[in-house]
Amino acid sequence: MFSYKLPCGDFQTVTAMTETNISFDPPVYEQRYCAAVQILGDPKWGRIRKAVEFGCAEIRFFPLLRRIETIEEIVLVDIDDAMLRKYMNRIDPLVSDHIRQRQCPLKVQVVQGNVADSSDELRDTDAVIALELIEHVYDDVLAKIPVNVFGFMQPKIAIFSTPNSDYNVIFTRFNPLLPNGFRHEDHKFEWTREQFKTWCMGIVQKYPNYMFALMGVGNPPQGYESVGHVSQIALFVRKDMLEIRLEHPLTSNVWKSTISLLTTNRYQLMHGVTYPFHVDTRSEEQRIWDDVQYELNCFKQYCKHHREECDCAGTHKMPIEILLSRIHRTGATREFLDEILKNKSVHVEDEFVLIEDSDEDSVTSSHSDPTEQNLNEVESPGEEEEFWDVS
């Protein structure tokens, strides 16, 4: 095991328990999504280019997953053909995706298949996501999941979550468990924290190239900390991502191709889309110069409307350090900025860029930020969602 903390820190959440019910703000499913997005966006894994979500169901996690700019390919897998047909169009680009295009390509596929089956669609995967999936499968499928994920796919990271049955003592104060003894009618089991840890330990013993960390979402109410979280999460990380030497070489794609050809249950493509993206053909110097012009013009316009603050008397003075901080997204260094300002005959004096009132406004790069959908794109759970996830 290893210790892992979310890049942005713990969530600010509220668990409220009264005599009649318990509620979570935000709902547990949102907390789970946010945890997964933080993990996927952690720069320590390097570039996460391809992500596969098993058990995508109603495709609710996808709107957040696609916002991770490094991801260029997403494969959404579920065994329920009818559900996929109903919700597969949720991957289609929005109008805003055509207005403000991505900076890198994105290919998305919805496929029908079994999490236990190896298939060509799963090759070269960097991240696997399986949120509240494993408790829905029978033992024979459960036994094959590690073989497919850690033996065949060998991703950089894999995220699994499952209900924590230790928490059921809280839920049963208000509602009895279902006749099957679990929170949801389709659950085949619900594990305690110790049982989940034992499952994880078995995986890393069989696949020593991986280590795991445990965490959870859905805090217990005050005074019941011993029951843990509503939903427990395991993060599996390939050792080379932690700068630890691999125990065994990674399997070659030739071997993976052979294995996938031997698979009898092939994945079926249900729907696929390619997102529009913008290819910036400008040179590095031109990109930085465009941003410099934009920032100088913004500074001049600000000074024109706040003359009493600027006290510029026709010449506006912008500190070079402020200009450099404003164009940090371009990767420009101080030396490179000085060279561009010199080449473009921009007046610099005593660590200030001089901007004359008579200079023409020249904004050649777009910095507009159209309203985008974010967490609001994630719909509230439908009828199939487990009742304990909703506040």
Q: Which two tokens stand for residue 380?
A: 């509230």
State the CB neighbour count (10 A cutoff) for residue 348: 13
pLDDT exceeds 50 at position 369? no
Q: What is the pLDDT of residue 254?
A: 54
pLDDT exceeds 60 at position 335? yes
Give me Rg for the CA atoms of the chain.
26
The rounded percent of the chain whose pLDDT value lies above 90 is 71
pLDDT exceeds 70 at position 20? yes
Of how many residues is the chain composed? Answer: 391
Q: What is the pLDDT of residues 56-81, one digit of tens each?
A: 999 999 999 999 989 999 999 999 99
- CA–CA distances in Å: residue 122 to residues 6, 116, 117, 285: 26, 11, 10, 39
Q: pLDDT confidence of 372, banded at 50, 70, 90? A: very low
Q: What's the CA angle centered on 366, arms 359 and 334, to 5 degrees?
A: 65
Of the candidate ranges 122-131, 206-215, 325-334, the one whose mean pLDDT is the lowest: 325-334
Three-class DSSP labels, the chain: CCCCCCCCCCCCCEEEECCCCEEEECCHHHHHHHHHHHHHCCHHHCCCCEEEEECCCCCCCHHHHCCCCCCCEEEEEECCHHHHHHHHHHHCCCHHHHHCCECCCEEEEEEECCCCCCCHHHCCCCEEEEECCHHHCCHHHHHHHHHHHHHHHCCCEEEEEEEEHHHHHHHCCCCCCCCCCCCCCCCCCCECHHHHHHHHHHHHHHCCCEEEEEEEECCCCCCCHHHCCCEEEEEEEEHHHHCCCCCCCCCCHHHHHHHHHHCCCCCEEEEEEEECECCCCCCHHHHHHHHHHHHHHHHHHHHHHCHHHHCCCCEEEEEHHHHHHHCHHHCCCHHHHHHHHHHCCCCEECCEEEEECCCCCCCCCCCCCCCCCCHHHCCCCCCCCCHHHCC
Closest among 161, 165, 160 to 146, alpha carbons compared: 160
Q: What's the CA angle centered on 45, arms 40 and 49, to 5 degrees?
A: 65
pLDDT exceeds 70 at position 296? yes
Compute the distance between CA of residue 263 and CA of residue 94 in angstroms, rounded to an integer.
36
Bigger pLDDT: 372 vs 212 = 212
Compute the distance between CA of residue 326 and CA of residue 321 in angstroms, rounded to an integer.
9
Q: Is the pTM of this model over 0.85?
A: no
Torsion angle of the four alpha carbons 357, 362, 365, 368, in this order, in degrees rounded to the nearest 10: 60
- CA–CA distances in Å: residue 277 to residues 168, 176, 273: 46, 50, 13
The rounded percent of the chain whose pLDDT value lies above 70 is 86
179-211 exposure pattern, b = at least 16 Cβ within 10 A, e = fewer: eeebbbeebebbbbbebbbebbeebbeebebbb
Q: pLDDT confidence of 310, banded at 50, 70, 90? A: low
345-349 LR contacts (CB < 8 Å, sep 24+): 346/292, 346/296, 348/320, 349/317
Q: What is the pLDDT of residues 86-115, one digit of tens each?
A: 999 999 999 999 998 888 899 999 999 999
State the CB neighbour count (10 A cutoff) for residue 258: 10
